[in-house]
Amino acid sequence: MGKDVIVACDFASAAQTFAFLDCFTQEKPFVKIGMELFYAEGPSIVRELKARGHKIFLDLKLHDIPNTLKKSMVVLSRLDVDICNLHAGGTIPMMKAALEGLTREDGSRPLLIAVTQLTSTDQETMERDLLIRAPIDEVVMHYALNAKAAGLDGVVCSPLEAKKVHKTCGASFLTVTPGVRFADGDTGDQKRVMTPAQAKEVGADYIVVGRPITAAADPVAAYRRCVREFVDC
Ligand code: C5P
């Protein structure tokens, strides 16, 4: 899989998701299914989107003891998603167990990426609530290196961290970056943003874009603009 735009389908139901995706008559966007939609609809939403020809990033951010992660990943491997994820904070043994569970008998598996520190966590919260006293960018790189040591394929990170992650973990270690906005668009609640073109410039492998596409007056035009800026230019 090469560079691509992943559309965050942050909808509450399958009906809303299909109504949105039905606007796309010429392309089949790579889609992200998050907890809200997955918990509302269950595995059938994954099967239906797969049957419609979409690639899927299942964003469930798993975090539990290694044995539970392993068993959960066995189940997800059968769903045939393209990317799934977990929290690097679960430590290397948990990530290794997850990877083992995700790998099918024939050796194939979806890509597995790690969330480092959530972008909603800042230095102050991390120190106060988690008692982690290192600078947050060091923590993010340390977690990324842990994910690499466990054999994972990459991390979810801010586009502002993508370059450093590649420098630290290697060019082939994937960076999947939310926090993308058009230069002339509304940033909403995202604090640290980049345009699709800037995300491309810093070497992000996938951008995850929600509201700039889903809430656009013309979602298909907004999606095409993202692809043009991030993939084609
Ligand atoms: O609408 P917007 O473009 O902000 O959507 C970004 C998507 O990426 C949402 O689904 C959000 O939950 C997800 N995400 C994020 N920041 C992270 C991890 C995931 O915005 N650190």
How far is the C-alpha of 82 from the C-alpha of 109, rounded, in Å? 8
- Ligand 1 centroid, distance to 178 Cα (angstroms): 5
Task: Determine the structural domain holding residue 122 and report its residue range.
Answer: 4-232
- pLDDT of amino acid 120: 85
**pLDDT given at position 191:** 77
Atom of ligand 1 nearest to the CA of 214: 1
Considering only CA atoms, which residue is closest to atom 11 of ligand 1?
178
Assess contact for 200 and 232: CB atoms under 8 A. no
Look up residue 126 and give its two tokens: 């991390």
| Phi, psi dihedrals of residue 71, rounded to the nearest 5° | -65, -40
Ligand 1 pocket list (CB less than 6 A): 8, 10, 34, 118-119, 156, 178-179, 190, 208-212
The ligand 1 atom nearest the CA atom of 10: 10
By most ligand atoms within 8 Å of CB, the mutation choice from 117, 193, 208, 226 for ligand 1 is: 208
Instruction: Provide the number of structural domains found in the chain.
Output: 1
CA–centroid distance, 174 to ligand 1, in Å, is 17
* CATH code where residue 69 lies: 3.20.20.70
Q: Is 70 a catalytic residue?
A: no
Residues contacting 60, CB < 8 A, separation 6+: 34, 35, 38, 76, 84, 85
Q: pTM (2 decimals)?
A: 0.96
Q: Which residues of the chain have pLDDT under 50?
A: none
Q: Which of 3, 50, 55, 61 is the catalytic position? A: 61
With beta carbons less than 8 A apart as the criterion, state whether 147 and 113 touch. yes
Q: How much is the pLDDT for 119?
A: 82
8 CA: nearest ligand 1 atom: 10
Name which residue sits closest to atom 16 of ligand 1, judged by CA: 178
Of 199, 198, 200, 224, the closest CA to residue 212 belongs to: 224
Non-local (6+) Cβ contacts of 34 within 8 A are: 8, 9, 10, 59, 60
From the CA of 212, give the closest atom in ligand 1.
3
Residue 121: predicted pLDDT: 87
For 50, residues 6+ apart whose C-beta sits below 8 A from its C-beta are 56, 79, 80, 81
pLDDT for the residue numbered 1: 60
